[in-house]
Amino acid sequence: MEELKILNVTNIAFQSLRINQVNDYEVHLGEQIVLSCAAQGSYSIDFIWYKDSMLVNTSKAVREIRINRMPNDGSDVYTSVLTIDKATLLDAGQYTCQVVDWGVQQCKGIYIEVRDEPDVKVVPMSATIEKGNDIQLTCMTPNMRNIGIGFGWTKNRALLKLEPGRAVWEDLYPAGSILKITNTQKSAIYTCNVAHKSMSVRVEVMNRTLIPICFKVKSWGLQWPDTAPGSEALLECPRYFVGRRVSRLCSMKDATTPEWQIPDFSSCLYEPLILPYNNFRSLTLGYQKTTSSDTIFAFREILRKRTLPLYPGEGDRIMSMLAEIERYQHSIDPQDAYTSAEALTHIINRILDDEYSILSQEKLSMLLQLTQRNLIHWSKQLKDVYKHLSLSSMVVDIQQLQSQSGDSITHSLQIPSSDYIYPDWYEDKVAIRLWKKKQRNVKSNNTFTGIVIVYKNMSRFIPTAYVKELDDGTDLEFRINSRVIAIAVPSFGADKYNKIWVDLQIRHLQNQTSSWNTSCGLIDNTGSWDLNTCIANTVSGDVMTHCLCPTTGTIAVFLTTRAVKVVLAKTEQTTFIIIFGCSSCLIQCLLSALILGAFWWKHKSWLNFLKLQCCGALIGAMAIFIYAVHTNLPESSYSLVAIGLEAFLLVGMSAPISEALIVYAELTQIRPSQHLQPTVIAVITGVPILAVFATELTHKSTGLRHESWWLIYGSGVYNIFVSCATMMFLVFMLLYMGVLHKVHTLVEENVMKREAIEASIDMRDFVSESSSAYAKSSVPTVSRFLPEIRIDHSDNIDLENYSTSPRKYQEPPVFVDPAFPARGTRVNEAVAYGVNERGGFRGDVSGKYRGDGKIFLPATSLSPEASAKVLCSADVESRLGAMPDVTLAVKSDVELSSRSSAELKSREHVVSAMPDIANTSERKQPDGEEKTPEIVVTAGGCDSATNGMLDRISHDLDYLLNRTHANEGA
């Protein structure tokens, strides 16, 4: 605390004038200021405070500021304390304490500085550049030349790294920083940070050959730079204006044409208005140098002398200041509002003279309300109840209603009045009627004043068209088609005893068409137009509309039509249909999954697994559909739902591709492997999922966001998903056609093999007939019916390419004694013919064939008397079951019974042993010997265990015969 020395004067002695701040005479914004002034004098001593020669009058303040006089401590020292709770920039200045005692005064001053926060400014404030170009950003603090704090830069809210050749910055003296960005590739937001203040600039990077832009143009006295569609061009306020910036939006007129919108100067303030406005703000802080009415008069004079029209949106800022002054007048000094009422009306008229002076609908509503409140307050203070103002943009009438006595007191007013002159554009008529019911012992005011305001060009500040959604699903479009008329009757309230009717005849601005209807609109308490309160009556072809309203307010005529009809069902019905359809699909997929799961559990195979995979993917996709439609998803969940939906759909599509590829691999006889099928499934399923995650990673890295959980047509995610699905469909069709072609080829090969199979069946019939004949005759069957099958080239046995079931027969050598007389009787009895009898050997050899007939090889017998035995026992079957299947490459010569008996007899007694080709592929004959193996076929009774043996032998015989004929042909 510092005490100030003062000079002693007769009868007054200053003790001190001090400030309660640790830092000498310096405070920060929002801090408390306490000034104490102590002086020694008489009991009549008085303290008066001044700030920059302005009287400190706490009664005029709208904030917490007070002057307290401390009680006397008995030493004739009196103290006055000035307390300001929260310091503002306007509190900075020279404070003076004036002490007056018995006509003698003494003054002492102290200067207080209020430290401002840094005002960060970046130039340029917006930029659109070509990809690969350079840009330089400059950051400054105009209100603080030597801030003593460093400047920092961020890019997209992340600390910007110093990268030579890409992004570098350097500090400026005394305060500032320059950021240089080279070879810019992506759009970004760069922010300059100073202490806890910052300013951001968005740099748009684009390819002008692909994207149309708004080209630079000079208008409204400013040079607007090239700007990308959807972005704002930001410039400094023009000359003679102060403020943060001017903005102008570049938007798309259609799909290929960009256009500039109206610029917005609402943040700029005309410099001559700053001084009177700051004086008014000082008044609200408790420093009285002016009055609110003086501020209004100063505004009016400045705007009257201004020859240039108001910039677009400039009236928004002026309206905010006028509303602030008007609220202050009604709360602090109502009498002052009456003084400036007419001047305020002229200011509003000046604002309405210029097109686009008001851009905000909120400020337009404020103008209508401010005008009406101002005139109401003015009417209450008028000595003469009649007032008429005919201005360039509005006409104001304030007149007293005429009363007519009767059972009910009636008041009426007709506008326009014949007592005044109205402009040529004034063609509307207004009639106000009041009904007041007489009440006993109740005194009522029988004098009412009516206020009528007709605005000339208010329609150009109102949107061209409004659209309102109705309950029946249609959109009501309405457009203003008249001048706006405001009507007020102060001190009158409508109730069950008092009623008011406003009858208006309003002229149309344009002729009415048959497709549009006419309605009278009334602004309600929310500032919206109500088309249902007033009754409209328009005669066809008439240019006037008769509106009858049961209340006062702001009224206009509108053209209405149901321009857009909603052909779709309501949202609830659409949601129900989607949920019902997805739920039905979900239930069907669940049932299919249960059935396939049970079948796969019993018969585990990869093809069954793929069917189960397809059902599971559809279940997941339908579940996500239902959840997303039924739930109002936040924007943060869009990416997760979109990824899940894409993944499930692509996984479901990959299952048929995997099935087709596995089947094709089997048909092409690719060498089987236990890892082939799972590898195919993993690759086909994994690739589309990787594509989905790669797409999402690209979104995250580029800063793009999902606009919806569904794939929007034309978006990058949509295009990638459709591309993946199309490629998968084409791959499936390619595999499907390949499988069909391979199957067709195999069918053609099987047709050729069918003939060989039929030949083997004939051989089987022949063997059955031969066996039957052998059982019934004593003559050897071999010499009578059985053709000789000779195996040539026994060393050329193909054991690799021929694969059948393991043979269940043995081929030990059989020795047949030709001298044995009872050969036929030693053979097993012939099996009788069954019901499945048929002709054999294609009709050439007649005979019967048993349906379960069997072909047997004769068993080995060491005794010459041993007969041929059939290997049918289970023991032999078990021992021979593990023998590998082999193929005999043979050359057969079939010699029928027409040969000479001597030759047949010689062959009957010589039967060579069949080589053991089932166990080895080596030669069984000694070198130098060529043996001709023969197959001796006999028939005998056997049980049903050998039913399949005949088929296997027939297959082998068929191969041997075909191979032999092929070799001969070669």
* 8 A C-beta contact, residue 148 and residue 154: no
* 8 A C-beta contact, residue 323 and residue 366: yes
Q: Which residue has the tokens 């296997």?
A: 952
Q: Residue 799: its pLDDT value, please?
A: 41
- DSSP class of residue 173 equals S
**Residue 812 vs residue 428, higher pLDDT:** 428
Q: Which residue has the tokens 């082939």?
A: 676
Q: Is the pLDDT of residue 604 over 70?
A: yes
Which residues neighbour 924 within 8 Å (Cβ) at sequence distance 6 or greater?
794, 915, 916, 917, 931
Distance of CA 704 to the CA centre of its chain: 10
User: pLDDT digit string (tens) for 849-904?
Assistant: 343 444 434 444 434 344 333 344 434 343 334 344 433 333 334 333 333 344 43
> In whole angstroms, what is the distance from residue 605 CA to residue 92 CA?
88
With cut-offs at 50, 70 and 90, classify the pLDDT of residue 590.
confident
With cut-offs at 50, 70 and 90, classify the pLDDT of residue 773.
low
* 8 A C-beta contact, residue 464 and residue 559: no
Rounded to the nearest integer, the mean pLDDT of the chain is 75
Least confident of 321-335, 476-490, 513-527, 833-847: 833-847
With cut-offs at 50, 70 and 90, classify the pLDDT of residue 180.
very high
User: pLDDT digit string (tens) for 361-377?
Assistant: 999 999 999 999 999 98
User: pLDDT digit string (tens) for 80-111?
Assistant: 999 999 999 999 999 999 999 888 888 888 89
User: pLDDT digit string (tens) for 665-700?
Assistant: 777 766 656 677 777 778 777 777 777 777 777 766
**Residue 485 vs residue 849, higher pLDDT:** 485
Q: Reduced to 3 states, what is the DSSP secondary structure of residue 618?
A: helix
Q: 760: how many CB neighbours lie within 10 A of its CB?
A: 22
Q: Over range 71-85, report the average pLDDT.
A: 84
- DSSP class of residue 58 equals G
Q: Which residue has the tokens 């143009």?
A: 217
Longest dimension (CA), the chain: 178
Q: Residue 567: its pLDDT value, please?
A: 45
Q: Over range 306-326, report the average pLDDT.
A: 94
Q: Is the pLDDT of residue 660 over 70?
A: yes
With cut-offs at 50, 70 and 90, classify the pLDDT of residue 202.
very high
Q: Over range 252-266, report the average pLDDT.
A: 90
- Can you list the positions of beta strands (E) in 438-497? 449-455, 466-469, 474-480, 484-488
What is the C-alpha end-to-end distance of the chain, expressed in Å? 128
Q: Residue 136: its pLDDT value, please?
A: 93
**Residue 911 vs residue 53, higher pLDDT:** 53
Which whole-number Å values give the CA distances from 894 to 340, 788, 823, 897, 965, in the listed order?
A: 136, 5, 24, 10, 12
Environment class of residue 331 by beta-carbon count within 10 Å: exposed (0-12), middle (13-18) or buried (19+)?
exposed
Q: Residue 632: its pLDDT value, please?
A: 74
